[in-house]
């Protein structure tokens, strides 16, 4: 029982990170129909910038803020320089552009920072908290709280604010959104900033637990992509659920079966789900219009 | 006219392979050439799957992994000749592609992307983790093909580099010939048709799932043979051959050169194989340049380098 | 003798009946037109008959066989083919290749023969190409054969779609607005083409907006409004039917 609880705790922590990455995928996908494989690099940047800003003397909260803002600015730049010019390109070209951008960012990070593994102190110390018969790190609670806060914030933003609705309208029909006067380029800019900022936040939150280095982005991007697809691309609720499910699966597989095959369980489940629900758990069904 | 495209591609390919060694500054370039051919072969499979049938795979390196490890393991464990191991790998890849392809090819776009990605990752995970069999991430030795020795006794004495350059070149020409045959055949036409409009393809009687599956299986065999040749040539292989980055590399080579044409894709394979060789002096800039090239080509030469240039030459630019 | 019969076909989208209990039949050599105001459910009806949508109720019977919700490629084997309102040509293939694609059922064979360029594969492809060139002559596109389909004019694309459908030598041909977006000359060409196909014994089911064309070439007209059949009969009878007039006028009033 305590064992199960322990595995669940670690699963939820990892799942919360995946959910944050998946939410980032969702925001950009909704605004532009692009799956941004550089999403993992945003997470890496969040961690790395905080590490180096902190080392340079900035207090941790300021360093974290700088990391989120800096990464958001980079997200905007990426949209302007790489995504907007390729508007209308086929899916496979867009995949290559964003993977190219991610390789570029990784290459730049390796030059600007270094190839070492880094970390910074946890926000609320490293003393595990006992819950029932299991323990959880305070930093894990920060990660989980971060995911919940971001999801709630996004939900409020998309349903309660005019701007959020404009983003949703753009995702439903770009041309119609333009016709009713929505500034779609601004929506794109905003989406990339938001998505990159959320990615960076995930990096800030998780680095004290998992540590970071210039090359952690790819694995996170793949998991976040898988989580977003599992939930149904473009659906924030799907991203949250997909991320948590993926994290729990990994936690339980690592605990009960084999830690080497924890990724296998995740991808087997994804293949299984897509077999029965080709649009993911919460995805909209599309019909060919002829 | 389309016949000349096929003949021209094959003639140009044969001429390039035959004449390039005259300009090699050192014997090292035989090896680079052989690598280009091995990549070109895998990429030709991607042209059939993505360029013609319009289906994305982010997991084709998995099949290269199967081809590579078939050559490493079958001779030792099954006593198979390495040449037969290539066929065994191709057979296993084909069967696996057939089994996996049926469910996942119902998916579209990014959903197919993530499913094929999952498949590739599962294969690479098995290669990494089944240490008793594959020796894990450190890699495993691959037996000698034995053909070079046989040629030597027959009176043809080639250096190792020359031999692999010639063999991979011949296999690439063969692979290109098969693909070009397919392009203008009934099956190739049907593949390109379903890419254009799936619903119209169905109304003219095309069995779309079956056609997609055929393209998937054929491209898996190309990837598998490419993996086998890589393993036999290096006499050593690691699970990286099946990794996600290798899958991305295949797709990138194809799309960069021009995923709709065999010539373009092979050109893409050549550029992306040469690029790291030329950047070895600036090793730390390698990723930076690679990423930049990927983004820029996709933005400015959308159809890929070769088709874009051909279009400009023909004066039918947009 | 009835070749195609539609029996009580219906479908709902999100609780709303898009098509409800529609029945009629088509005989060989006959041109039956389905007309109705915008949004009457004509294209939806077509999508159900041609296997693109699965009907919620009713049956489609082709030559005595129940083919309800059968996949389009199996319907093609049984002699039913269609064209599309919003053009579904294979844009990046040549006009000739588009037409050859219509011969798929005849020309396709083992994929291995295609890969190896075996004589059998070449023979099949050559036969299909000959047939395709002949068809392109019939629809007046022989000179555009080697052009990329995407570069053709709208009217030519419409004819190309008909040629591709004819390549299947169908017994039932479904034409979804074959003259939409065409000028008067192009409409007349298509008009002749359809009459000619029907004269060769093919049963034709037509959805069309161009009333003059419908009245001119149809043997029988089915009128839909709000997804329901409100009238059917020969052109003269239908054009005098008060319910039909009301539906059209009502629609125009609502739109105006």
Contacts of C among chains (3+ CB pairs under 8 A)? A, B
| Best CA proximity match to A140, nearest among A241, A67, A247 | A247
The length of chain A is: 290
What span, in angstroms and rounded, lies between the C-alpha atoms of B241 and B61?
A: 6
pLDDT at residue C249, as a whole number? 67
CA angle, residues B136, B142, B143, in degrees to nearest 5 = 150
pLDDT tens digits for C201-237? Answer: 999 999 988 788 888 899 999 999 888 999 999 998 9
| Cβ separation A222–B284 shorter than 8 A | no
Interface of C with B in 54-73 (CB under 8 A): 71-73
CA distance linking residue B297 with residue B176, whole number of Å: 24
Rounded to an integer, what distance in angstroms lies between the CA atom of residue A40 and that of residue A30? 18
Quick count: other Cβ atoms within 10 Å of Cβ C57? 15
What is each CA distance from C112 to A84, B175, B215, in whole angstroms?
A: 43, 13, 12
Q: How many CB atoms lie within 10 A of CB B167?
A: 20
Mean pLDDT of A84-113: 89
Q: In which domain, by residue range, is B23 found?
A: 2-243
CB atoms within 10 A of CB A238: 24
CA distances from C149 to A162, B34, C90, C99, C130 (A): 44, 39, 7, 10, 18
Could you tell me if residue C8 is left (phi over 0), alpha (psi between -120 and 50 degrees) or otherwise beta? left
Q: How far does the CA of residue C82 sit from the closest CA of chain A (Å)? A: 11
Joined together, the tokens standing for residue A286 give 């599309």
Which residue's structure tokens are 């002699």?
C79
Question: In chain B, how many domains are there?
Answer: 1
Instruction: State the Cα–Cα distance between residues A148 and A125, nearest whole angstrom.
Output: 21
Q: Are A135 and A6 contacting, i.e. CB atoms less than 8 angstroms apart?
A: yes
- Contact call for B202 and C71, based on CB within 8 A: yes
Q: Does C86 contact A289 at a Cβ distance shorter than 8 Å?
A: yes
Pairwise CB contact (< 8 Å): C114 & B188:
yes
Q: Which residues of B touch A33 (CB under 8 A)?
A: none
- DSSP secondary structure of A168-225: HHHHH-HHHHHHTT--HHHHHHHHHHHHHHHHHHHHHHHHHHH-B-TT-HHHHHHHHH
Provide the 10 A C-beta neighbour count for residue B135: 15
Closest CA–CA distance from residue A246 to any residue of chain B (Å)? 13
Tokens of C72: 């389009």
Q: Per-residue pLDDT for A98 more than 50?
A: yes
**All structural domains of chain A:** 2-276 (1.10.3470)
| Closest residue in chain A to residue B255, using alpha carbons only | A93
Check: pTM over 0.95? Answer yes or no.
no
Which one-letter DSSP state was computed for residue A84? G
Read off φ and ψ for residue B216, nearest 5 degrees.
Answer: -65, -45
Say whether residue B105 is in contact with chain A using an 8 A CB cutoff. Answer: no
* C12 CB neighbour count, 10 Å cutoff: 13
Decide: B90 and B74 in contact? Cβ < 8 Å: no
Nearest residue to B309 (alpha-carbon basis) of B295, B297, B296, B292: B297
Rounded CA gap, A11 and A5, in Å?
Answer: 10
On the CB side of A281, CA atoms within 13 Å amount to: 19
SS3 call for A134: strand
Q: How far is B128 from chain C (nearest CA, A)?
A: 34
pLDDT of residue A285: 59
Q: Is C50 on the interface with B (CB under 8 A)?
A: yes
The token pair that represents A169 in the structure block: 């309208």
The DSSP code for A281 is S
**CB nearest B299 (choices: A85, A260, A270):** A85
Whether residue C254 has pLDDT greater than 60: no
CATH number for the domain running over C4-90+155-255? 3.40.50.300
**Contacts with C43 from chain A: Cβ below 8 Å:** 290
Q: Please, what are the averages of pLDDT over each run of 10 residues along chain B (318 residues)? A: 74 91 88 95 95 92 96 91 94 96 87 89 91 88 86 85 94 96 94 92 93 96 97 94 91 88 92 85 82 88 82 62
Q: From residue C55, give the alpha-carbon distance in Å to each of C7, C50, C69, C91.
A: 11, 11, 7, 30
Q: Do B294 and A268 touch (CB under 8 A)?
A: no
Q: Do A96 and B256 touch (CB under 8 A)?
A: yes
Distance, CA of B218 to CA of B15 (rounded, Å): 26
Q: Do A268 and B129 touch (CB under 8 A)?
A: no
CA angle B206, B212, B215 (to 5 degrees): 120
B291 touches chain A (CB under 8 A): yes
Return d(Cα C47, Cα C54) in angstroms, integer: 8
pLDDT in tens, A109-148: 999 999 899 999 888 888 888 888 888 899 999 999 999 9
Backbone angles phi and psi of B144, in degrees to 5: -75, 140
Residue B79 placed within a domain: yes
Buried b (16+ CB within 10 A) or exposed e, A173-188: ebeebeeeebebeebb
Chain A, chain B: beta-carbon pairs less than 8 Å apart: 138
3-state secondary structure chain C: CCCEEEEEEEEEECCEEEEEEEEEEECCCCEEEEECCCCCCHHHHHHHHCCCCCCCEEEEEECCEECCCCCHHHHHHCCEEECCCCCCCCCCCEHHHHHHHCCHHHHCCCHHHHHCCCHHHHHHHHHHHHHHHHHHHHCCCHHHCCCEHHHCCHHHHHHHHHHHHHCCCCCEEEEECCCCCCCHHHHHHHHHHHHHHHHCCCEEEEECCCHHHHHHHCCEEEEEECCEEEEEECHHHHHHCHHHHHHHHHHHHHHC
CB pairs under 8 A between A and C: 10
Residue B278: inside a domain, yes or no? Answer: no
* Mean pLDDT of all residues belonging to chain A: 89
Contacts of B105 (CB under 8 A, 6+ apart): B55, B112, B209, B212, B213, B216
Across the interface, do A103 and B287 touch by the CB < 8 Å criterion? yes
Structure confidence by residue, pLDDT tens digits, A71-88: 999 999 999 999 999 888
Residue C41's CB is within 10 A of a number of other CB atoms, namely: 25
Q: What is the predicted pLDDT for the residue at B45? A: 96
Q: How far B218 CA lies from chain C's nearest CA (Å)?
A: 10
**Order of strands, edge to edge, in the sheet holding C203-207?**
C80-82, C172-176, C203-207, C31-35, C220-225, C228-233
Contacts of B298 (CB under 8 A, 6+ apart): A86, A89, A93, A94, A96, A97, A100, B255, B256
Name which of C170, C187, C169 is nearest C178 in CA terms: C187
B122 CB-side CA count, 13 A: 16
| Token duo for residue C57 | 């109720």
**Smallest Cα–Cα separation from A182: which of A165, A195, A194?**
A165
Residues of C in contact with A290 (CB under 8 A): 43, 47, 52, 84-86, 88
In a domain, B204, yes or no: yes
Chain B residue closest in CA terms to C129: B186
The pLDDT, as a whole number, for residue A284 is: 66
Find chain A residues with C-beta within 8 A of B62's C-beta. none
Percent of chain C exceeding pLDDT 70 equals 97
The answer to whether C88 contacts A290, with C-beta atoms less than 8 Å apart, is yes
- Cα separation, B205 vs C81, in Å, equals 9
The answer to whether B118 and A249 have CB atoms below 8 angstroms apart is no
Q: What is the Cβ-side half-sphere exposure of residue C203, based on CA atoms within 13 angstroms?
A: 17
**Alpha-carbon A80 to chain mean position:** 20
**Residue A136: which H helix or E strand, with range?**
strand A134-136
How many whole angstroms separate alpha carbon A228 and alpha carbon A230? 5
Test B291 with A288 for CB contact under 8 angstroms: no
Q: C82 has which bridge partners?
A: C174
> How far is it, in rounded angstroms, from Cα C103 to Cα B190?
10
DSSP-derived secondary structure letter, A123: T
B292 and chain A in contact, CB less than 8 A:
yes
Weakest-pLDDT range from A163-172, A204-213, C87-96? A163-172
Interface of B with A in 59-88 (CB under 8 A): none
Q: What is the pLDDT of residue C99?
A: 95
Q: Does B279 touch chain A (CB under 8 A)?
A: no
CA distance to partner chain A, nearest, from residue B74 (Å): 24
Q: Which chain A residue shows the shortest CA-CA distance from C46? A: A290
Cβ–Cβ below 8 Å for C85 and A290:
yes
**Contacts of residue C86 in chain A, CB cutoff 8 Å?**
289-290
**Contact A96/B255, CB-based, under 8 Å?**
yes
User: Looking at residue A289, what is its pLDDT?
Assistant: 56
Residue B140 domain flag:
yes
Q: Which residue reads 């709902």 in tokens?
A: C12
Mean local confidence (pLDDT), A37-53 = 95
- The Cα B252–Cα B256 span in angstroms is 6
**The pLDDT of residue C256:** 37
Whether residue C239 has pLDDT greater than 90: no
Which residue in chain A is spatially nearest to B57 when comparing CA positions? A92
Helix H or strand E segment including A75: helix A60-78
Sheet strands (E) in chain B:
140-141, 236-237
- pLDDT, residue A173, reads 78
HEC per residue, B91-148: HHHHHHHHHHHHHHCCCCHHHHHHHHHHHHHHHHHHHHHCHHHHCHHHCEECCCCCHH
Q: Residue C160: how many CA atoms within 13 Å on its side-chain side?
A: 32
Q: In chain B, which residues have their Cβ closer than 8 Å to the Cβ of C107?
A: 186
Q: Do C116 and B188 touch (CB under 8 A)?
A: no
C16-67 confidence digits (pLDDT tens): 889 999 999 999 999 999 998 888 888 899 999 999 899 999 999 999 999 9
For Cα atoms C76, C81, C82, give the angle at the middle one, nearest 5 degrees.
145
**CA distances to A39, A128, A223, A251, A267 from A216, in Å:** 11, 25, 12, 19, 19
Residue A59 has pLDDT above 80, yes or no: yes
Contact C207, C46 (CB under 8 A): yes
Query: Does residue B314 form part of some domain?
Result: no
CA dist C17 and C142 (Å) reads: 44
């Amino acid at each position: 029982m305590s064992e199960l609880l322990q595995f669940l705790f670690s699963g939820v922590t990892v799942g919360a990170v995946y959910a944050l990455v998946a939410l980032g995928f969702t925001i950009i996908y909704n605004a532009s129909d692009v799956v941004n494989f550089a999403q993992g690099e945003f997470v890496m940047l969040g961690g790395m910038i905080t590490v180096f800003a902190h080392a340079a003397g900035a207090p941790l909260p300021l360093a974290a803020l700088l990391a989120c803002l800096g990464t958001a600015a980079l997200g905007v730049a990426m949209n302007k320089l790489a995504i907007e010019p390729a508007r209308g390109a086929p899916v496979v070209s867009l995949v290559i552009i964003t993977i190219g951008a991610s390789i570029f960012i990784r290459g730049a990070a390796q030059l600007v920072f270094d190839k070492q593994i880094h970390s910074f102190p946890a926000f609320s110390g490293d003393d595990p908290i006992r819950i029932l018969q299991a323990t959880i790190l305070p930093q894990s609670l920060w990660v989980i709280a971060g995911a919940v806060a971001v999801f709630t914030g996004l939900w409020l933003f998309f349903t309660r604010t005019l701007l959020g609705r404009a983003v949703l309208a753009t995702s439903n029909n770009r041309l119609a959104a333009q016709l009713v006067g929505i500034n779609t380029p601004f929506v794109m800019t905003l989406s990339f900033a938001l998505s990159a900022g959320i990615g960076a936040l995930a990096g800030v939150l998780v680095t004290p637990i998992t540590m970071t280095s210039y090359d952690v982005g790819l694995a996170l991007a793949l998991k976040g992509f898988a989580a977003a697809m599992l939930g149904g691309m473009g659906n924030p609720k799907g991203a949250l659920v997909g991320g948590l499910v993926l994290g729990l699966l990994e936690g339980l597989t690592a605990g009960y079966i084999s830690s080497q095959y924890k990724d296998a369980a995740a991808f087997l489940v994804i293949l299984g789900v897509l077999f029965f629900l080709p649009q993911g758990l919460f995805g909209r069904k599309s019909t060919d219009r002829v | 006219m389309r016949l000349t495209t096929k003949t021209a591609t094959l003639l140009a390919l044969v001429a390039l392979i035959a004449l390039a060694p005259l300009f090699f500054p050192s014997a090292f370039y035989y090896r680079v050439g052989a690598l280009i051919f091995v990549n070109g072969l895998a990429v030709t499979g991607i042209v059939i799957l993505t360029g013609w049938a319009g289906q994305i795979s982010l997991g084709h390196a998995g099949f290269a992994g199967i081809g590579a490890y078939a050559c490493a393991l079958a001779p030792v464990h099954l006593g198979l000749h390495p040449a037969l191991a290539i066929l065994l790998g191709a057979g296993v890849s084909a069967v696996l592609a057939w089994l996996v392809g049926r469910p996942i090819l119902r998916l579209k776009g990014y959903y197919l992307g993530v499913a094929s990605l999952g498949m590739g990752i599962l294969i690479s995970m098995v290669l990494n983790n089944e240490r008793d069999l594959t020796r894990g991430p450190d890699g495993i030795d691959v037996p000698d093909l034995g053909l070079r020795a046989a040629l030597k006794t027959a009176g043809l004495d080639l250096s190792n580099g020359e031999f692999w350059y010639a063999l991979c070149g011949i296999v690439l020409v063969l692979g290109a010939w098969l693909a070009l045959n397919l392009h203008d055949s009934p099956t190739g036409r049907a593949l390109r048709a379903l890419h254009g409009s799936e619903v119209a393809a169905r109304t003219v009687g095309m069995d779309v799932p079956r056609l997609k599956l055929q393209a998937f299986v054929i491209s898996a065999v190309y990837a598998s043979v490419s993996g086998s040749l890589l393993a036999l040539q290096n006499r050593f292989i690691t699970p990286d051959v099946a990794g996600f980055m290798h899958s991305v590399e295949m797709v990138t080579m194809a799309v960069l050169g021009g995923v709709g044409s065999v010539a373009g894709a092979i050109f893409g394979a050549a550029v992306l194989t040469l690029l790291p060789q030329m950047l070895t002096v600036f090793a730390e800039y390698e990723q930076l340049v690679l990423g930049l090239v990927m983004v820029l080509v996709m933005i400015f030469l959308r159809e890929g380098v070769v088709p874009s240039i051909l279009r400009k030459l023909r004066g039918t630019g947009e | 003798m009835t070749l195609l019969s539609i029996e009580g076909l219906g479908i709902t989208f999100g609780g709303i009946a898009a098509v409800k209990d529609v029945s009629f039949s088509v005989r060989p050599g006959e041109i039956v037109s389905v007309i109705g105001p915008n949004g009457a459910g004509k294209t939806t009806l077509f999508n159900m008959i041609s296997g693109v949508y699965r009907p919620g109720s009713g049956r489609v019977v082709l030559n005595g066989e129940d083919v309800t919700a059968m996949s389009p490629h199996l319907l093609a084997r049984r002699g039913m083919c269609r064209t599309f309102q919003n053009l579904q040509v294979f844009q990046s293939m040549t006009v000739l290749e588009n037409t050859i694609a219509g011969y798929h059922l005849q020309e396709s064979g083992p994929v291995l023969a295609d890969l190896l360029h075996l004589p059998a594969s070449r023979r099949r492809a050559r036969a299909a190409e000959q047939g395709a060139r002949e068809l392109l002559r019939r629809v007046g596109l022989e000179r555009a054969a080697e052009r990329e389909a995407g570069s053709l004019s709208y009217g030519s694309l419409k004819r190309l779609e008909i040629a591709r459908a004819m390549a299947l030598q169908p017994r039932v041909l479904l034409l979804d607005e074959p003259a939409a977006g065409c000028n008067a000359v192009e409409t007349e060409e298509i008009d002749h083409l359809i009459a000619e196909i029907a004269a060769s014994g093919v049963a034709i089911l037509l959805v069309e907006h161009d009333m003059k064309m419908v009245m001119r070439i149809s043997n029988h007209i089915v009128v839909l409004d709000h997804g329901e059949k409100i009238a059917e009969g020969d052109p003269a009878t239908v054009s005098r039917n008060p319910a039909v007039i009301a539906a059209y006028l009502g629609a125009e009033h609502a739109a105006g």
